[in-house]
A and B are shown apart, each in its own frame.
Chain A
């Protein structure tokens, strides 16, 4: 791997930037690997990277049906935070946030991680009490979080309307200053490049069409580019977890919905933090290009179509314009949807399955982006050692039978 640095930048400037090497190879798939990761999004690429780096696996493939980061990695609103209620969630999201804090250096790739703070608004007394409870729980876990008064909200983000006569007045907020944004594509590309440098084969336009079993264990996958064998298969897909699981004869507690987002036309810097509101189903930040990146709630119906209904956007834009009157004359530039695999307790499913050698990392619902490094890190451990990483253990599939659910609807809701 050619390291990126000020010197390589200067050197390549001399050749008009025409000689940069490809960031990763595009090899033909081999007939067998030691481990196959299904899904070339951030989570899958991170898993492959940590498998190679921390567990010494040399012969790994990542299979992606489309292009790297073209699924939910490229469709989310890029928010990173770790302000979750329960200890299990705090552990995994904070593990991820700590990895985010060193990720650009670790990968030698600028993920544009910006700790600009994430503010969650409260619009009624119940919201405020919930936020207080959550902030207290978060602080007991040693994670930064604080409560702001409406006046402090206004000081932190001056364009928020805090007048008391709003339909949903701002009564306070929680703030995690270490939260923020990262460039979503860069996360996929950075992990891909670093994994490739450690010998991982990244194979795009290679869709898995079947999972091969011999008795109670996996032996490989059928793909659009032929049969590939491996004793260990990690399924890390968003939007198709049930489809992949069904190939191995498993049923999952997953329901797939569209989750929509939109961007405005680009404007000069106007908001230097992330503002979220669960109650009115809106969250907003500003990209470095100047577009406001705005997220909505999920569409109620099941779908695999990567598009949703316009009424969701309408409600979303109404809420955002009421909170931020300054946005009212902006044009909507484009909107899109990703398919999110929601689980009954709004927490992911990570771990082993009843099929030996088959591992699942799915069900991140509306908020998997923030967990990308931590998710890949603990999943790599789970695959390499055939036992769940201690942080991943509570997220096992069997919790739906034991009843040990990790209910994060409050911290997750739609707002991610």
Chain B
């Protein structure tokens, strides 16, 4: 069971949260002009990183707010949490190419 530090409510059991997958995936800026491949990349292709991973959680049974987390997908250690729209602490920023959100 993960123990997740919600930035607003503090550490709570994972059961209070829902998972939002990979963070910082930006919608194509010109949706009507995006190619099928660009749509496939946005909708389906994922980093699925083994190791330090930037991801989203929602404290659905608490404050209801979304936030980002840096978590190691091998050790499950949560290394940092940060607000939507922000970048992770520089030393943990694994450099997602699609910056926004």
User: Interface of A with B (CB < 8 Å)?
Assistant: 240, 242-243, 251-256, 300-305, 309-311, 344, 400-403
Instruction: Say yes or no: B55 contacts A253, CB within 8 Å.
Output: no
User: Interface of B with A (CB < 8 Å)?
Assistant: 1-2, 14-15, 18-19, 21, 36-37, 39-41, 43-50, 53, 55, 71, 73-76
Cβ of A344: which chain B residues have Cβ within 8 Å of it? 43-44
Cβ of A251: which chain B residues have Cβ within 8 Å of it? 41, 45-47
A251 and B42 CA atoms in complex are apart in Å by 12
Instruction: Say yes or no: B14 contacts A305, CB within 8 Å.
Output: no
Taking a contact as CB atoms closer than 8 A, the residue among B1, B41, B73, B75 that contacts A302 in the complex is B73
A252 and B46 CA atoms in complex are apart in Å by 6
Instruction: Say yes or no: B76 contacts A305, CB within 8 Å.
Output: yes
A305-B73 contact in complex given A251-B41, A251-B45, A344-B43, C-beta closer than 8 Å:
yes
Instruction: Say yes or no: A252 contacts B48, CB within 8 Å.
Output: yes
Cβ of A243: which chain B residues have Cβ within 8 Å of it? 50
Instruction: Say yes or no: A304 contacts B74, CB within 8 Å.
Output: yes
Instruction: Say yes or no: B73 contacts A303, CB within 8 Å.
Output: yes
Q: Shortest distance in angstroms between B69's beta carbon and chain A's nearest beta carbon?
A: 10
Q: Shortest distance in angstroms between A341's beta carbon and chain B's nearest beta carbon?
A: 8
Taking a contact as CB atoms closer than 8 A, the residue among B15, B46, B50 that contacts A311 in the complex is B15
- Which residue of chain B is the closest to A397 with respect to CB atoms? B40
Instruction: Say yes or no: A303 contacts B76, CB within 8 Å.
Output: yes
A253-B45 contact in complex given A302-B53, A311-B1, A401-B36, C-beta closer than 8 Å:
yes
A311 and B40 CA atoms in complex are apart in Å by 33
Cβ of A242: which chain B residues have Cβ within 8 Å of it? 46-50
Instruction: Say yes or no: A255 contacts B48, CB within 8 Å.
Output: yes
Instruction: Say yes or no: B73 contacts A309, CB within 8 Å.
Output: no
Cβ of B53: which chain A residues have Cβ within 8 Å of it? 302
New contact pairs (7) apart from A251-B46, A302-B21, CB-CB < 8 Å? A301-B2, A301-B19, A302-B53, A303-B73, A311-B14, A400-B43, A401-B39
